A and B are shown apart, each in its own frame.
Chain A
Amino acid sequence: MKPQSGATSCLMLREGTIFERSTPERKGFQLSFPEVPRLTPTTFSRTEPAELPEVAELQVVRHFTRLSSWNYAIDLGTFPLGSCTMKYNPRINEEMAALAGFCDVHPELPPPFCQGSLRLIFQLERALAEIVGLDACTLQPAAGALGEFTGLTMVRAFHEKHGSHRKYVLVPESAHGTNPASCILAGYQAITIKVGPEGYMTTASVEDAISKYGRDIAALMTTNPNTLGVFEQNISHIAELLHGIGAQLIMDGANMNAILGIAKPGDMGVDVMQYNLHKTFSTPHGGGGPGAGPVACRSHLIPFLPNPRIVHKAGIYDVEYLPDSIGKVKGAFGNFGVMVRALTYIMNHGSQGLRTVSKNAVINANYLRAQLQKKYQLGTSTPHFHECVLSDSRQIQQNGTKTLQIAKALMDYGYHPPTVYFPLTVPGAMLIEPTETESLQELDQLAEAFLEIAARIENKEDTFENAPTKTFVGKVDEVGAARKLILSVDDRPR
């Protein structure tokens, strides 16, 4: 039988930049000029018009449609990117977010004119707080990293309110890069703590840090399940240790997709955490955003949440400003359009459905792991949740093939590679998260690709140095890009 899936070479259309399609005086989109005298400014007026392209409608449509055909996307195939949760984005979300009653709303409308938007924010905040077992939530942060910064800044405001000026935030070595970067932005020094041999934090390592830094520790920031896909089994004890010195437990909620209805961060002792709506609640990644990074917290941190807060009094939704708030972290109310999509998703599933989401995500990851471990070294033998981590150690031994080559080779089989070289605690890591929206058939095919690559390496048939070969462009010269910088059309050598 002929293969039913995978990559193949077919007709793909080349396309220069939109500027190369331009022809002088060709008219594009036509705006109607209102019935007022046409005027141009007399001071500071622009002498040279901005050189925008001059292209007609079909040419714009063709240009961007051709570009789109060069992208890999969830709609096209399996996207096993660990930690990034590339699940299917249900289209009903898009339809709801596109309602004119949501799109045509200026954030400065007086509250009586925007009761719908205010209600939506209020109810989504409540739902997100309930899901993680915390007391309140803000939707203002525009993405996960800004959510991390928000949580950290709230923790700092809390300590300072109590006259305590602390210096350090403990971060496990397996953490996302944004964690230490957010600590610095929030005015803290990140102290790396070791992950135990089983792939999760030991209480001993936290006790060590406490004996060394004591009450200079403001918080510990951890992802749970962590970036190895492993549950932090000592989390409750670690929370007690931290609370014992007045420090806070911050959770990076990047991996919430694994534990909806299975474990509540609030029950683990977490004080504040951020969500990624574009991971857990299926809002589209869009080639790198927009996301949304809501922050949920326990009651003692509520006074420090960003302003303004949405309140519901006497049947009316309104805004309120808290005196001890950390202030604003983004313009207006946050990425409202992303919130509409997330709430649609939550209400589409209900509480039972969301539990099934996590359950199936965990089953899928373990099903895939069971097949992949036949040929690949596991990063840890501890049970995995929604993602599993492999290492390239066997392949390096067999013929020197590394993770990067395996990743590029997967493209030729029709797949997006997993997250590679992360977490840093596993050498040559491949972090694989299939998500709940893939079927077992699709996982079987992905596993087959992985195993065939492994077999070719084992048999010393290939090192995949030249992969990928079937993609629209061949291997990209990334070193050359950094050496000879061309960052706009106008940087090209003339």
Chain B
Amino acid sequence: MPSLPLTPDEEKKAYQTIGVHSFDDLIATIPPKIRETAQFHLQFEPEYPDLSDGLSEHELRNFFSQIANCNKTAPEVLHFLGGGIYDNVIPAIVNQLTLRGEFLTCYTPYQPEISQGTLQAIFEFQTLMCRITGMPLSNASMYDGATATAEAVLMAQRLSSKNKNVLVSNNILVDYQNVIKTFLSGQPPSLFEVLYDAAGMLNREHLRKQLETHQPCALVVSFPNAFGSLEDLRSIKSELPSSCLLIVCVPDLSALSIFEPPGKLGADIVVGEAQQLGTPMVFGGPHVGFFTARKEYLRQLPGRIVGETTDARGNPCYTLTLSTREQHIRRDKATSNICTNQGLIALRTTIYLSFLGKRGFQTLGEINYSLFEYLRKSLAHRGIHQKFPKATHYREAVFEIPELENKFDRCLQKNIVPGIRLRDKYGPDFENSLLITVNPKHTAKQLDFLVESLTS
């Protein structure tokens, strides 16, 4: 049982103060029929078939450790998984500082006078996101990369008075495509695909056709795309009429450490996931989405924004601003329904990037790039080639592996998860396709081991 402060004597005292005889008097407005059946039973088979009294901390530790141990993780398992979520090296101070009660147990900073810590950290997060993406405007965070991309589509629709159609390249991550679909499912059909070409890149011919047919207000592409390839954003932008915004989702924000930021390549809205910068994978969340855009779209931005101002004593300070876009003020006219976002994970990202610093960030990108190039060459040397070899890759790519099914299973038996099988995500063309991803925890030896396992 947990520790709650109210003692039996205090309970009696409270009833006296309130002017009732018992707890039942306080809940008398609940119809008796509902009250009678209210008790529930908690089952956690097989250990606790009826958990009526709670567990002690010691029992909790045993139970949860046992569940956690049913997951196979490093160092027992070596994995090469990515596809939007990436393993990364996290400095000790990131966890330590994030666990400070003043950050962990504070509230959304609606009261700026007693929330300056959170507010300034978000202001720094906004600055970091702008500098990395090359965009001038950032919000305080979104749930994750997929929902940030869906919100970017909704924002593009709001910015367009006439046409609400949106084109989505079908080489962005499948999860992102599916979340966009769900977010737009409440409105008349407005979502159209642009296919990728034989090189796995946005199919320009199909793009031109779709632009003409649908007159869209936006095109969503990814940088790098779901196959790990970097699209030529500048040349894509040159294909678009001025009425069509270029939305770039960046499934791997860390790529912008060594590759040109989309802001410099003609993007109008740049969104995505920042998990790979200081947040563990945690089976897919909590992570943190970022949302950046051109300045002129400010009034249509979803979510919270922090601005710098002064206090009554003339000192610089911070506050949430432009709240009239938000649901708690504007209700059904709000730019988004988002309320709680990912404040604490945005703080993690800010601490991580601050400590990694300008040079460290570049080094991180170079590590990923160099590891990938090493792996690519080793695999090629052993006769395993990329499905889309022409493109530039950052840290992951699709490899064609003969008899993948067998090879994959054999790797699993050796506790290697060699990558993500794409057959179920992108169709029968990908029967023997494996998305292999490197991360900064990998060593040259481990890459050699992977190559050996996939080729022997």
Chains A and B belong together in one complex: yes
Asked whether A36 is an interface residue with its Cβ less than 8 Å from the other chain, the reply is yes
Also in contact, A185 and B183, with CB within 8 A (given A44-B259, A60-B355, A71-B114): yes
Binary interface encoding of chain A residues 176-215 relative to chain B, with 1 for a CB under 8 A from any of its CBs, else 0: 1110111111111110000000000000000000000000
- A397 part of interface (Cβ distance < 8 Å): no
Using Cβ atoms and an 8 Å threshold, which residues of chain B touch A278?
Answer: 340
Given contacts A285-B105, A330-B143, A485-B307, A337 and B285 within 8 Å (CB-CB): yes
Residue picked from A15, A51, A71, A468, most chain B C-beta under 10 Å: A71
Known: A27-B357, A71-B114, A289-B342. A44 touches B178 (CB 8 A): no
Contact A94 B99 (CB under 8 A): yes
Q: Which has the most chain A C-beta neighbours within 10 Å: B105, B273, B306, B443?
A: B105
The contact of A366 among B26, B137, B360, by CB within 8 Å, is: B26
18 A-B pairs within 8 Å (CB atoms) are namely A29-B357, A34-B440, A36-B447, A38-B370, A92-B61, A103-B280, A146-B337, A181-B337, A185-B154, A263-B34, A286-B103, A286-B345, A289-B143, A331-B147, A335-B286, A362-B27, A436-B6, A489-B124
Q: A178-B339, A349-B2, A492-B308 are in contact. Are A34 and B443 (CB under 8 A)?
A: yes
Query: Taking the complex as formed, is A359 at the interface, i.e. its CB lies under 8 A from any CB of chain B?
Result: yes
Q: A323: CB under 8 A from chain B? A: no
Question: Which residue among B72, B111, B113, B312 has the maximum number of chain A CB atoms within 10 Å of its CB?
Answer: B113
Stretch from A243-251, A339-347, A449-457 that touches the partner: A339-347
Query: Is B428 an interface residue when CB atoms closer than 8 A count as contact?
Result: no
Question: In the complex, which range does the number of interface residues on chain A fall in?
Answer: 35 or more
- Which interface residue of A326, A382, A478 has the most chain B CB atoms within 10 A? A478
A27 adjacent to B360 (CB under 8 Å):
yes
Residues of chain B from 10 to 41 with CB closer than 8 A to chain A in the complex: 10-11, 13-15, 17-20, 23, 26-31, 33-35, 37-41
Given contacts A187-B187, A481-B307, contact A285 B2 (CB under 8 A): no
Cβ B40 vs Cβ A438 within 8 A: no
From known contacts A142-B285, A268-B34, A350-B54, infer whether A109 and B42 are also in contact, taking CB-CB under 8 Å: no
Whether A130 lies near B42 (C-beta < 8 A) is yes
Inter-subunit contact A92/B341 (CB<8 Å): no
Q: How far is the CA of A49 from the CA of B353 in the complex (A)?
A: 13
A52 and B286 contact, CB distance less than 8 A: no
- Answer yes or no: A322 CB below 8 A from chain B CBs: no
Q: Please tell me if B281 contacts chain A, counting CB pairs below 8 Å.
A: yes
Are B114 and A471 neighbours in the complex by a CB distance under 8 Å?
yes
Report yes or no: A335 in contact with B285, Cβ–Cβ below 8 A: yes
Asked if A8 lies at the interface with its beta carbon under 8 angstroms from chain B, I say: no
Q: B215 CB to closest chain A CB, in angstroms?
A: 22
Q: Establish whether residues B310 and A288, one from each chain, have CB atoms under 8 Å apart when the complex forms.
A: no
Name the residue of chain A whose CB is nearest to the CB of B73.
Answer: A104
Known: A60-B351, A357-B4, A476-B311. 15 other contacts (CB 8 A): A31-B367, A31-B440, A36-B447, A39-B369, A51-B358, A52-B358, A102-B283, A148-B337, A184-B334, A262-B38, A287-B344, A289-B340, A331-B85, A331-B144, A383-B28
B444 within 8 A of A: yes
Q: Contact between A178 and B127 (Cβ–Cβ < 8 Å)? A: no
Complex interface: chain B residues within 8 A of A41 (CB) = 258-259, 369, 392, 394
Pick from A92, A352, A362, A382: contact of B53, CB under 8 Å? A352
Interface assignment of A394: CB less than 8 Å from any CB of chain B = no
Whether the Cβ atoms of A476 and B113 lie closer than 8 Å is yes
Nearest CB of chain B from residue A240's CB, rounded to whole Å: 13
List the 10 closest pairs (A to B, CB-CB), nearest first: A332-B284, A187-B186, A101-B68, A286-B344, A75-B101, A288-B343, A116-B70, A290-B286, A28-B357, A474-B312
Say yes or no: A106 contacts B373, CB within 8 Å: no
In the complex, how many angstroms separate the beta carbon of A278 from the nearest chain B beta carbon? 7
A409 shortest CB reach to chain B, Å: 11
B285: nearest chain-A partner, CB-CB: A335
> Which residues does chain B contribute within 8 Å of A127, judged by CB atoms?
42-44
Q: Are B307 and A68 in contact (CB under 8 A)?
A: no
Q: Which of A18, A54, A177, A336 contacts B328 (CB 8 A)?
A: A177
Complex partner residue of A331 from B68, B176, B181, B315, CB under 8 angstroms: B176
Known: A75-B101, A106-B281. A475 touches B310 (CB 8 A): no
Out of A17, A71, A101, name the residue touching B73 (CB < 8 Å).
A101
A353-364 to B contact mask, C-beta < 8 Å, 1/0: 101110110111
* A289 adjacent to B283 (CB under 8 Å): no
Instruction: Say whether A70 contacts B60, CB under 8 Å.
Output: no
The reply to whether B107 and A287 contact each other, CB–CB distance below 8 Å, is: yes
B198 within 8 A of A: no
Cβ of B110 to closest chain A Cβ, rounded Å? 9
Are A181 and B327 in contact (CB-based, < 8 A)? Answer: yes
Q: Which among B164-172, B202-210, B317-325, B398-406 touches the partner chain?
A: B317-325
In the assembly, what is the distance between CA of A186 and CA of B184, in Å? Answer: 8
| Residues 407 to 458 of chain A near chain B (Cβ within 8 Å) | 407-408, 411, 416-417, 422, 436-440
Q: Confirm or deny: B243 has a beta carbon within 8 angstroms of a beta carbon on chain A.
A: no
Q: How far apart are the CA atoms of A153 and B187 in the complex, in Å?
A: 11
Q: Do residues A473 and B113 form an inter-chain contact, with CB atoms below 8 A?
A: yes
Q: Which residue of A146, A178, A263 has the most chain B CB atoms within 10 A of its CB atom?
A: A178
From B71, B103, B345, B354, contact of A55 by CB (8 A)? B354
Cβ-based interface call for B199 (8 A) = no
Are A34 and B357 interface neighbours, CB within 8 A? no
Find out whether the CB atom of B307 lies under 8 angstroms from the CB atom of A486: yes
CB distance from A368 to the nearest CB of B (A): 10
| A1: interface (CB < 8 Å) | no
B70 touches A119 (CB 8 A): yes
If A46-B257, A46-B259 touch, does A338 touch B286 (CB 8 Å cutoff)?
Answer: yes
Instruction: Specify which of A108, A331, A337, A383 is in contact with B145 (CB 8 Å cutoff).
Output: A331
**Residues B71 and A105 in contact, CB atoms below 8 Å apart:** yes
- Separation of A407 and B145 alpha carbons in the complex (Å): 36
A240 to B277, CA, bound (A): 51
Would you give the shortest CB distance from B443 to chain A, in whole angstroms?
5
Chain B residues numbered 63-97 whose CB sits less than 8 Å from any CB in chain A: 63-65, 67-74, 77, 79, 81, 83-85, 87, 89, 91, 93, 95, 97
CB neighbours (8 Å) of A311 from chain B are none
Given contacts A146-B143, A284-B104, contact A34 B442 (CB under 8 A): yes
A44 and B103 contact, Cβ closer than 8 Å, known pairs A143-B339, A349-B54:
no
Query: Inside 8 A of B232's CB, which chain A residues have their CB?
Result: 44
Task: Produce 1/0 per residue, A139-160, CB < 8 A to B.
Answer: 0001111101100010010000
Which residues 273-301 of A sit at the B interface, judged by CB distance below 8 A? 276, 278, 284-291
In the complex formed, the residue of A with least CB distance to B120 is: A67
Residue in contact with B105 in the complex, picked from A19, A53, A284, A364, CB distance below 8 Å: A284
Interface centre among B1, B19, B68, B280 (most CB of A within 10 A): B68
A289 pairs with B344, CB closer than 8 A: yes
Known contacts A177-B328, A188-B186; decide if A355 and B39 are in contact (CB<8 Å).
Answer: yes
A81 CB to nearest B CB, Å: 6
Is B55 located at the chain interface by the 8 A CB criterion? yes
A99 to B39, CA, bound (A): 32
A residues less than 8 Å from B123 (CB atoms): 17, 487-489
Residue A398, interface by CB 8 Å:
no
**Contact A287 to B109, CB < 8 A, known contacts A34-B367, A61-B93, A370-B19:** yes
Inter-chain contact B339/A101, CB cutoff 8 Å: no
CB contacts (< 8 Å) of A92 on chain B: these are: 57, 60-61
Shortest CB-to-CB span from A79 to chain B, Å, is: 7
Taking a contact as CB atoms closer than 8 A, the residue among A55, A112, A337 that contacts B286 in the complex is: A337
Task: Name the distance in Å between B85's Cβ and chain A's nearest Cβ.
Answer: 6
* Contact indicator A34/B102 (Cβ below 8 Å): no
Q: Is B193 an interface residue (CB 8 A)?
A: no
Interface set, chain B 186-236, CB cutoff 8 A to A: 186-187, 230, 232
CA distance A376 to B309 in the complex (A): 34
| Interface hub of B26, B38, B117, B183 (most chain A Cβ within 10 A) | B117
